[in-house]
Amino acid sequence: MRPFALPRCHRLPFRSLWLALLLPPLLLLFAAVPPAACLDRHTPVVEAVAKAGPAVVNIRTEQIVQRRATPFFGFSDPFFQQFFRDFGATRTFKTQALGSGVIIDPRGYVLTNAHVIDKASRIFVALPDQRRELEASLIGKAPRVDLAVIKINASGTYPALAPARSDDLLLGETVIAIGNPLGLGHSVTTGIVSAALRRVEIDAKHTSYFIQTDALINPGNSGGPLLNINGDLIGINTAIIRQAQGIGFSIPIDVAKRILPALLAHGKVPRAFTGLTVDGLAKQETDDLGGGVLVQRVAPNSPAAQAGLRFGDVLTAMDGADLDSPVDFYSQLETYVPGNTVNLRVLRGFDTLRRTVTLATLPANYALDYAAATFGFSVEERGGLVAVAAVTPGGPADKIGIHAGDLVAEVEDEKVNSLKDYDALMVAKLGQTPLRFLIVRGRRGYYVNLP
């Protein structure tokens, strides 16, 4: 028989006989209340990190920047900078940026933020168990959604974490963020879900809906995974509001799952088509209804028409995300691809309806027709330039003084060199109003906001 021995955490040093006599009561006491050293430290958080951690990578990018030195370098006056921009030697700089990512496919496909790899000339990935970096290539990106896919160039089988789901999140449930803050390597923070779909205004023409948590997301965490307590991938960490300490945001993984096939196959996200043109409600209507967008037009035979939507309907939500403005509607639509379905909550009179719309591919020339109707002028290509072909009497362009024959040189500070460029810009900015145009007449140019 083996002699009786106390567990390591229960052993007591004793040299006195009287302490030995007290051993049975002490044994009962320690058995009833085990010290902290005896508790199982493999908590659900530990298990979740062990499951997901091997698939989390650090991302380092290099960017080549060229700058021409001028006699007025450092002066704030843009006139001198512009006047002397063609003088002086060109200097080349190499800048670096850090971020995070998560391997979602054993072949080495990594999901991260678009801004992490933006303008990168080279991309490097470091796995947790490797000291060396592996070079990676860009497969596709969706800047408006802030997601991108890169692939590790070296062949092999890599630890991967498959996307789970984010449509069943519970307020208050524990979440875990893993990333590469400040280039320090793996860092783990925990928090709770405070909103499953938090609307955040990115700029005046773009909003997004995020998972909001209080898990700390510091610089370098961007692109890293957000996990639930089971270690499932439920989001991609993307931002933190610096003015509100402790508030972090993650892109719901359901958004990534919708656009991933397009990014892998085409490198970009094609525009989805509903056939709806929407506008904002009057202030009184907004106050009465609590939000929503007004359906101004339903294109014949479009997906929206087939779903039974009508002029005058008020759309109040898309797949559970409240719609407060046309910006919300068009921004949400950018997170879908042709073939996806969207569930709309519709207010028609005093009735609340549900309509499911199966999205289609944007028809040819639809964006040009939409632009002509919205801004009040059509365009044509003349000798490699884009010119105003006709102006709608009484329309926005007519009221501001645009004439047939004027040239359209820029839209939202992006140059227009051909009709193809103009069409692509109209597709990308479909639904955004107003837009800023650079109109050129003769030797003079002027900027206008339409409508």
Q: Which helix (H) or strand (E) holds 258?
A: helix 253-266
Q: Kindly name the residue from 100, 115, 313, 328 that is annotated as catalytic.
A: 115
298 near 309, Cβ under 8 Å?
Answer: yes
Burial of residue 291 (CB within 10 Å: 0-12, 13-18, 19+) is middle
Q: Which helix (H) or strand (E) holds 18?
A: helix 17-21
- Specify whether 250 is catalytic: no
What residue has token string 């072949």? 107
- Specify whether 146 is catalytic: yes
Which residues are within 8 A (CB) of 199 and not within 5 positions of it... i.e. 6 or more apart? 207, 208, 209, 321, 322, 324, 328
207 near 331, Cβ under 8 Å?
Answer: yes
Structure token digits, residue 134: 């592996």
| Strand-strand pairing, 414-415 and 351-358 | unpaired
What residue has token string 């003088």? 87
Report how far apart, in Å, the C-alpha atoms of 273 and of each of 177, 356, 358 are: 35, 14, 9
Which residues are within 8 A (CB) of 427 and not within 5 positions of it... i.e. 6 or more apart? 271, 362, 367
391 near 444, Cβ under 8 Å?
Answer: no
Distance CA 420, CA 222 (A): 34
Q: Which helix (H) or strand (E) holds 254?
A: helix 253-266
Q: Kindly name the residue from 100, 146, 302, 328 that is annotated as catalytic.
A: 146
Q: Residue 30: helix, strand or coil by DSSP?
A: helix
- Specify whether 288 is catalytic: no
Report how far apart, in Å, the C-alpha atoms of 29 and of each of 10, 35, 38 are: 10, 11, 14
Q: Kindly name the residue from 222, 250, 302, 325 that is annotated as catalytic.
A: 222
Distance CA 9, CA 7 (A): 5
Distance CA 238, CA 139 (A): 19
**Greatest Cα-to-Cα distance within the chain, rounded to the nearest angstrom:** 110
Active site residues: 115, 146, 222
